[in-house]
Every structure is written in structure tokens, then in C-alpha cells.
């Protein structure tokens, strides 16, 4: 079982048209995703930014939007031609699933939450360093569903509520204990603030869940 994060961007002026299309195509998209061996998916929107969280049976997955969505989405160049979505780099995950049953089981999910943030370009390496250190020093320490992906200096985080903490925690790859106790104080300087957001969303802005 694998987890994936994808990023897409709407063309200018296409937000409402896209929202309507997703609502109308709900059953079609469900079938399309099932044919792609997708176990679980959540799609989030903020302005022109689209972020998708996905769980699949196997790794090596390379999902993309149906070609009918090309009228609304920007195309991105890639090794095998243009794409309507691009995989994000996994730069932090609190938990690592092994199989669907142990990952989900009968666990209750009240909400699926997606947020976006922007890194200062000169702070990207520091941000990744601290997060890998936390990930491997304290695995599954607060919410095993929490994951952060990156595309350039753009960040997307996904988590499920209530928080899920694994009973059988994996062993981290680091034996050190260097993760700072004043975590938020250390993190704050890494972000390019959202100037048009509410005070509690200056760093991480909430996205609207479409699917």
C-alpha cells in the first residue's frame, strides 16, 4: 500500500466551471479512480491550486486527470510528455501504511483536511532537514495520517481527524534526539506568509474539499 500527493493548477477563470464539473462527474470520477486501483482519494481546492491525496494498493503509481479535463487545467511538461497533474515530493509522513486493513480498519474519520503553504526559497533545505529528523526520531508520534508534499517551494499537507496514533510504532532510521522542543518557533521563519489570509492561516491556509 502506498500514499501519493498530486498537484494541479486551474487555468485563469476556471474555478467555478471546474467545481461544477467535479460535482456533475462525481460518479464518473469514482469509477475512473477505481479502475486505477485507488483505495481512497481526497481532492482539495484553493483559488487555482488543486491538491489530491491518494492511497493505492501498490507503488509506482502515476495518476493523471482524464483528458476531458484538459480544457480547465494547466499542462505541465514531463519526461513522457505533458501532464495535467504532477506528483509531489513526500518530505514528511508521520506514519507508513503496510496494508489497508491495518491502516484503516474500523477507524473513524470525521474529517479530511488539506492545507497549503509556501516556503521561502532559501529555507527549503532547512525545512526538509528538520522534518526528516522529526519523522525518523519520533515516528507516529502525533497523527499517522499526517503527510506533507512539496512542489518547488509550494507545500501541501493532508491529515485526518480525529488524529490516529499507531499502537505498533515503526522503528525510526535515526537514533538521535535532536528535534527541537520549540518546534513552532523554529518553523515560523521558514514560511512565506499568506498576506490575504486570516491570522490563524498566515502559514498554513485551509483548502476546500471537493471530493
All structural domains of the chain with their residue ranges: 2-209
Residues 80/173, Cβ–Cβ less than 8 Å: no
Half-sphere exposure of residue 19: CA atoms within 13 angstroms, side-chain side: 10
Cell of 93: 509522513
Cα–Cα distances (Å) from 146 to 19, 82, 131, 138, 178, in that order, read 26, 30, 12, 13, 21
Rounded mean pLDDT, 33-41: 84
For residue 85, pLDDT beyond 80? yes
**Percent over 90 (pLDDT), the chain:** 67
In the prediction, which pLDDT does 37 show?
81
Helix ranges, the chain (H): 15-24, 26-35, 100-103, 124-137, 183-187
Residue 172: all three cell numbers together? 525510526
Q: What is the pLDDT of residue 60?
A: 65
Bridge partners, residue 7, by sequence: 51, 86
Residue 126 exposed, middle or buried by CB count within 10 Å (0-12, 13-18, 19+): middle
Cβ atoms within 10 Å, residue 11: 15
pLDDT value for 176:
95
Q: DSSP 3-state assignment of 85?
A: coil
**pTM exceeds 0.85:** yes
Give the tens place of pLDDT for each residue, 114-169. 999 999 999 999 999 999 999 999 999 899 999 999 999 999 999 999 998 866 67
Phi, psi for residue 54 in degrees, rounded to 5: -145, 145
Amino acid at each position: 500500500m502506498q500514499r501519493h500527493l498530486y498537484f494541479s493548477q486551474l487555468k485563469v477563470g476556471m474555478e467555478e466551471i471546474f467545481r461544477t464539473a467535479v460535482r456533475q462527474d462525481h460518479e464518473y470520477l469514482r469509477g475512473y479512480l477505481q479502475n486505477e486501483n485507488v483505495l481512497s482519494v481526497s481532492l482539495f481546492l484553493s483559488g487555482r491550486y488543486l491538491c489530491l491525496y491518494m492511497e493505492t494498493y501498490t507503488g509506482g503509481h502515476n495518476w493523471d486527470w482524464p483528458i476531458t479535463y484538459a480544457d480547465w487545467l494547466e499542462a505541465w511538461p514531463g519526461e513522457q510528455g505533458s501532464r495535467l497533474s504532477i506528483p509531489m515530493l513526500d518530505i514528511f509522513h508521520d506514519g507508513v501504511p503496510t496494508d489497508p486493513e491495518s491502516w484503516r480498519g474500523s477507524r473513524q474519520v470525521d474529517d479530511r483536511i488539506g492545507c497549503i503553504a509556501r516556503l521561502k526559497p532559501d529555507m527549503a533545505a532547512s525545512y526538509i532537514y528538520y522534518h526528516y529528523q522529526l519523522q525518523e526520531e519520533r515516528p507516529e508520534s502525533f497523527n499517522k495520517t499526517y503527510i506533507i508534499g512539496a512542489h518547488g517551494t509550494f507545500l501541501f499537507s493532508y491529515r485526518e481527524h480525529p488524529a490516529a496514533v499507531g499502537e505498533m510504532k515503526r522503528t525510526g532510521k535515526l537514533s538521535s534526539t535532536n528535534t527541537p522542543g520549540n518546534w513552532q518557533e523554529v518553523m515560523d521563519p521558514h514560511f512565506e506568509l499568506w498576506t490575504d489570509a486570516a491570522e490563524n492561516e498566515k502559514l498554513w491556509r485551509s483548502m476546500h474539499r471537493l471530493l
